[in-house]
């Protein structure tokens, strides 16, 4: 099983029946392809392997032209991927962009409206400027895999040691090689194999996530007192 950059490169060369002495497959070309395939695979889904947390200080937030407190997404994070924001250890509720500004406009005459709310747009996130919190700001979200260190054959991917993820990278690199050799049907086959491996891994991860439980319910969520099911869980003949 390929776990490192060097092992992925070796597996690609074995599959190609080639060596890096060929002009077609130099070390530089292969490392670029592996890095490209790594980022492609890492961005395919919201993998648990690419979840991250970054903390900064409340003072680092700036007041923008709309008098909102604005912070910038951490470098390498996907836009619109902040799932949770906490200030001073307290959870701040995420609203969509329109609701956030609409709420603040509707309550503009409320002196010192301190609701713990935020939103994001593009590469920035915005916090209620009157929020009653300060201190450490922590965000949880999704990052894009960084460049692999091509000089380090022991560098690992975000999937290591997940077999399917790294095999998908191998298959994607092989598709690049087939395109370079103008073997389009073979390139398509390798690309399809890469996608299939990642989809299989994703389904496996989603299956494991069914084990999560929650103690929180929406205030107005309806429960069937006979079956115990949420109203949204019950079959509605018109749902499709």
pLDDT in tens, 179-221: 999 999 999 999 999 999 999 999 998 877 655 555 554 443 4
**Are 124 and 151 in the same domain?**
no
**Are 201 and 138 in the same domain?**
no
3-state secondary structure of 88: coil
* Per-residue pLDDT, 112: 58
What backbone torsions phi and psi does residue 222 show, to the nearest 5 degrees? Answer: -85, 135
* Per-residue pLDDT, 215: 58
Query: 196 lies in which domain range?
Result: 5-43+146-209
Find the mean pLDDT for residues 72-76. 89
Residue 133 falls inside a structural domain: yes
**Are 94 and 178 in the same domain?**
no
3-state secondary structure of 92: strand
Whether the per-residue pLDDT at 134 is higher than 90: the answer is yes
What pTM did the predictor assign? 0.72
* Per-residue pLDDT, 2: 83
* pLDDT-based confidence at residue 31 (cuts at 50, 70, 90): very high
- In the chain, the number of structural domains is 2
Say how far apart CA 127 and CA 130 lie, in whole Å: 9
**Are 117 and 55 in the same domain?**
yes
Last residue of a domain, one of 142, 174, 192: 142
Say how far apart CA 75 and CA 92 lie, in whole Å: 21
Residue 81 DSSP code:
-
Residue 163 falls inside a structural domain: yes
Q: What is the pLDDT of residues 200-210, one digit of tens each?
A: 999 998 877 65
């Amino acid at each position: 099983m390929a776990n490192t950059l060097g092992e992925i490169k070796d597996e690609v060369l074995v599959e190609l029946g080639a060596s890096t002495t060929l002009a077609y497959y130099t070390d530089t070309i292969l490392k670029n392809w592996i890095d490209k395939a790594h980022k492609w695979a890492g961005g395919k889904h919201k993998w648990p392997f690419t979840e991250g947390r970054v903390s900064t200080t409340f003072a680092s937030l700036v007041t923008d032209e709309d008098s909102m407190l604005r912070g910038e997404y951490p470098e390498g994070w996907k836009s619109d991927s902040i799932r949770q924001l906490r200030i001073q250890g307290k959870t701040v509720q995420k609203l969509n962009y329109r609701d956030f500004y609409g709420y603040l406009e509707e309550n503009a005459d409320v002196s010192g409206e301190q609701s713990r709310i935020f939103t994001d747009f593009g590469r920035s996130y915005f916090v209620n400027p009157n929020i009653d919190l300060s201190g450490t700001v922590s965000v949880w979200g999704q990052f894009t895999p960084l460049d692999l260190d091509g000089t380090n054959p022991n560098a690992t991917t975000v999937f290591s040691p997940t077999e399917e993820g790294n095999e998908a990278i191998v298959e994607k690199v092989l598709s690049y090689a087939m395109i370079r050799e103008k073997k389009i049907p073979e390139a398509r086959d390798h690309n399809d194999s890469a996608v299939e491996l990642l989809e299989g891994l994703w389904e496996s991860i989603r299956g494991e996530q069914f084990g999560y439980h929650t103690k929180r319910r929406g205030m107005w969520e309806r429960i069937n007192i006979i079956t115990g099911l949420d109203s949204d869980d019950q079959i509605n003949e018109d749902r499709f």
